[in-house]
Amino acid sequence: MHIPFHKAYITDEEINLVVDALRSGWITMGPKVMEFEKKFADFINKGSSKQIKALLVNSCTAALHLALKSIGLKAGDEVILPTNTFIATAEVVTYFNAKPVMCDIDYDTMLMDVNKLEALITDKTKAIIPVHFAGQPCDMDEILDIARRYNLKVIEDAAHSFPAFYKDKAVGTIGDITCFSFYATKTLAMGEGGAITTDNEEYLKSIKINRLHGINRDAWDRYTMKGSWYYEVVDNGLKYNSTDINAALGLAQLNKAEWMMKEREKIAKMYIDAFKGDERIGLPVVKDDRISAWHLFVIKVKNRNHLIEKLKEVGVGTSVHFIPVHKHPYYRNNFGYNDSDYPVANRVFELSLSLPIWPGMKDEEVEYVVDMVKRYA
Ligand SMILES: *Cc1c(COP(=O)(O)O)cnc(C)c1O
């Protein structure tokens, strides 16, 4: 059997909507982008008293960059984030000549350890970027409480957590700004894409302008009959807009987001039932007051490297999430992180691997992964 680590769930619906976008004659940012933004916001707002709006961009990295720009991050500022994340979360801070400050993680949930957060705050700290690792929301009440006391902004990296819930609130409606990823392997796939959600009109205005060169209105307005040739550049913007082709793919994926979520939940439950009681295999821990999007299913085993090799031999794709930020040479050399400051992240990094969990995975395939993990753990 060959079971890839990930396979995007693409059907005729995706293909047909993308073809429609191509046939429409308008292939960059236009009506499909706006339709996606509206429907994505509606999805997030369901059951919320807030009026969250969504803006679509070409990646989560772009979303995080625009979010930090909208809060006015400056050179010399500091931003706190968990060391167990994809490099993009730290990278965007360096775009401003600001310093990414790493926080250790909790062993069980692998989320930012809120008990270690306050000690990292200095008079230069401007924001916290919690990462909802693997799909599970962070301890948002504790993080928001600390942020309010020190007057910090909270920008959530929700690249793994669409859809996910914290105490009945959808991720995307909780902190100041939330950034989602629609990269090929994420829970909603557009090839490349990202969204920003917030109810702050000032941030929305900044993000909308800066995703397209700092121009005060977008190309769609300019090229329609009611538009005119005149525009003004009001900020040093970026080229981060999405396209109607990507948005068409996203709209098809959004239609099946709930079903895809149920599929991942079902697979996670199968893994948990199969590995429960096997003390060689550490299972993911999701707290009672939250619902994970189950973007990743991460187990902890003593012989991690050996297991990855063996699984590869028998056709099971795996991955490691993540090599901690403080271990990467560029970051270590430029920001002087001490490996010994992150004992839990280091231990988790030695032990963890991610198993395949994607919609459309057949029961026999999940069972095969289980058998092979049990054979070689
Ligand atoms: C994938 C990922 C990103 C970046 O997403 P892109 O859309 O590829 O830019 C950011 N943070 C985390 C935690 C991720 O896993």
CATH number of 12-255: 3.40.640.10
* Residue 110 CA: distances (Å) to CA of 226, 251, 346, 352: 51, 31, 11, 10
24 DSSP 8-state letter: T
CB atoms under 10 Å from CB of 211, counted, come to 27
The residue ranges of every structural domain in the chain are 12-255, 257-376
> CB of 58 closer than 6 A to ligand 1?
no
Instruction: Find out whether 294 and 357 touch, Cβ atoms under 8 Å.
Output: yes
Question: Residue 100 pLDDT more than 80?
Answer: yes
* CATH of the structural domain 257-376, one choice from 3.40.50.2000, 3.90.1150.10, 3.30.450.40, 3.40.50.150: 3.90.1150.10
Distance CA 79, CA 124 (A): 8
Atom of ligand 1 nearest to the CA of 186: 1
Residue 225 has pLDDT above 70, yes or no: no
Confirm if 196 and 57 have CB atoms less than 8 A apart: yes
- With the most atoms of ligand 1 within 8 angstroms of its CB, the residue from 61, 238, 242, 322 to mutate is 61
Per residue in 184-199, pLDDT (tens digit) is 999 999 999 999 999 9
For residue 59, give the ligand 1 atom closest to its CA. 7
Q: Which of 99, 153, 186, 300 is catalytic?
A: 186
Question: Where does the pLDDT of residue 115 fall: very low under 50, low under 70, confident under 90, or very high at 90 and above?
Answer: very high
Compute the average pLDDT of residues 70-87: 98
Given a cut of 90, is residue 228 above it in pLDDT? Answer: no
d(CA 184, CA 349): 24
Distance of CA 172 to the CA centre of its chain: 11
Ligand 1 close to Cβ of residue 325 (< 6 A): no
Q: Is the pLDDT of residue 78 over 90?
A: yes
For residue 183, the ligand 1 atom closest to its alpha carbon is 7
pTM of the entire structure? 0.97
Does the annotation count 186 as an active-site position?
yes
Q: For residues 39-59, give the mean pLDDT.
A: 95
Q: What is the pLDDT of residues 259-289, one digit of tens each?
A: 999 999 999 999 999 999 999 999 999 999 9
User: Could you count the other beta carbons within 10 Å of the beta carbon of residue 93?
Assistant: 25
Find out whether 237 and 105 touch, Cβ atoms under 8 Å.
Answer: no
